[in-house]
Amino acid sequence: MALSLFNTLSLKVEEFTPSDGRTVRMYSCGPTVYNFAHIGNLRTFTFNDTLRRWLRYRGFVLNHVMNITDVEDKIIRKSMELGIPMSEYTLKYEKFFLEDMDTMRMEKPEKIVRATEHIHEMVDLIEKLQVKGYTYDSDGSVYYRISKFEGYGKLSHHDFSGIQAGARVDNDEYDKDDARDFVLWKARKGEEPAWDAPFGAGRPGWHIECSAMAMKYLGDTLDIHTGGVDLAFPHHENEIAQSEGASGKPFARFWVHCEHLHVDMQKMSKSLGNIFTLRDLVELGHTPEALRFVLMSVPYRKKLNFTLESLQGAQTSIDRLRNYKLRIQTDKLAEGSNEAVTKLATEALAKFEASMDDDLNTAEALAAVFEFIRETNTMLDQGQFLEGNRAAALDLLARFDTVFDILEVKVAAGGMEDSAVEALIAERTAAKKAKQFSRSDEIRNQLLEAGIVLEDTKDGVRWKRK
RNA sequence: GGCGCGGUAGCCAAGUGGUAAGGCAGAGGUCUGCAAAACCUUUAUGCACCGGUUCGACUCCGGUUCGCGCCUCCA
């Protein structure tokens, strides 16, 4: 089966190919930079990363754009409270976010774009909508009249036909003609940051930024638009209304939404005190890879129930994968090649790829790899895994890792050099041979403190970094 | 209230109209001077509950129940 994705528009798993057959034009709703990202945010961005990597695995070229929302109510309030420029506040959290992406081994989208650097494009888009009659003004703000847009609700599958147009609703300080109408341009209030526009000084509404930037960099029709499930309505619905209202063309062919993460069966919330950031988990002694593994091991359309126990388990799983790779690389093997192993590798790879193609079923893909590992470990024990089989096993692991990216250990700065490690191991081996076990244990402990773990195997000593 | 999703072993979870993947934990074992390492084996007569359809259902249909999501800002 070819690569397929669940499309929120059709509520079906559909086969995916970019419209030009080669380059995937993809847009992802990025973070609002007013705080550290929590693991729920990171799940969605990890999903983007998985999708990116699989699309590339399948030979497509990526043109992926992600926005940074750096102007928004909370940001304005906080930066004004602190008495600092808005950009000083947002740049700080943008930096933290990009660091977290890096730590989580997420690939950077081809373009990361800031809302505040595209005000012009947003104003242009609003003017286009004005000309086409999709807007109305109210007290210096500009609103989108959804009753003008046929098909409003087609993404979130809500029926808005019962909504009474013209029933004037007061919402906050803004006057809207219809409860569902949303603001395109907010009139300036007090001292808050504002930009000049033909319709008066103010700032853009949240929804217009994504439409403007996505269309600027990717054209009128995107191949894929992603985001968290909660964004489907109203954010993405509004993006459709804006973009399709202006261009008259479909805005995105595929809408792909990542489900939420829960902690211990509950929604993350301040009152429950169960909001974790990457930094929180690292402080508790967990690794970023373990979080990456947990986030990736549950298919993106399923709610993910996060527990610290599963995070611990993820680390053990990663260690097992790494140990296996080390074993394949270092075990002494007899000459020849066993057909049975070749067959297992071929089957495992086929199952891995078919699972990923099937709407990114990462759980099943992972199972294929673990199954192969268990079977071939047994064959290694029995001497049936031969020299000529190394390449196929390593190839499977390499392919797996182009998507999962957890096998490589990042050596901490200031760590012990390989040569120093080797020298100590040689000394320990000599001590062992002389039955000076206290000395050999001493060296083992010394290395352990430096983050080096030794394993005595029948083929000699094997070591790895923790 | 409207629309929608889900309840599979201690935990995280995949899956199919034909008799339950995988990972972690637990138990047993192999190797080892020892081992905190590594590896192997094992672990649900049953897939929320009650009916129905069927030769056969965890898988389809109906009902019940529990949990969750969107409908307002939210990944």
| Nearest nucleotide from residue A29 CA, by C1' atom | B75
Whole-number pLDDT of residue A168 = 43
Using the C1' atom of nucleotide B39, identify the protein residue whose alpha carbon is closest.
A377
Whole-number pLDDT of residue A264 = 81
Domain spanning A278-404, CATH class: mainly alpha
Whole-number pLDDT of residue A413 = 63
Q: Binning pLDDT at 50, 70 and 90, where does residue A270 land?
A: confident
Provide mean pLDDT across the span A77-94.
Answer: 95
Residues ≥6 apart with Cβ < 8 Å to A89 = A34, A75, A78, A79, A82
The reply to whether A67 has its C-beta less than 7 Å from any atom of strand B is no
CA-to-C1' span, A32 to B69 (A): 22
Provide mean pLDDT across the span A61-74.
Answer: 96
Q: Which nucleotides of B are covered by protein (CB under 7 A)?
A: 2-5, 10-15, 21-25, 31-41, 67-75
Rounded CA gap, A61 and A246, in Å? 28
Q: Would you give the DSSP letter of residue A277?
A: B
pLDDT digits (tens, 9 = 90+) for A285-342: 899 999 999 999 999 999 999 988 889 999 999 999 999 999 999 888 999 999 999 9
pLDDT above 90 covers a percentage of chain A that reads: 73
Whole-number pLDDT of residue A412 = 66
The reply to whether A31 has its C-beta less than 7 Å from any atom of strand B is yes
Residues 259-288 of chain A: which lie with beta carbon within 7 Å of strand B?
260-262, 265-268
In this structure, CATH architecture of domain A4-258: 3-Layer(aba) Sandwich (3.40)
The reply to whether A377 has its C-beta less than 7 Å from any atom of strand B is yes
pLDDT > 80? residue A212:
yes
Provide mean pLDDT across the span A96-117.
Answer: 97
Helix (H) or strand (E) holding A6: strand A4-7
Q: Which of A207, A209, A144 has the alpha carbon at shortest distance from A174?
A: A144
The reply to whether A40 has its C-beta less than 7 Å from any atom of strand B is yes
Whole-number pLDDT of residue A164 = 46
Rounded CA gap, A336 and A379, in Å? 14
Please tell me whether the interface predicted TM-score (ipTM) of this complex is above 0.90: yes
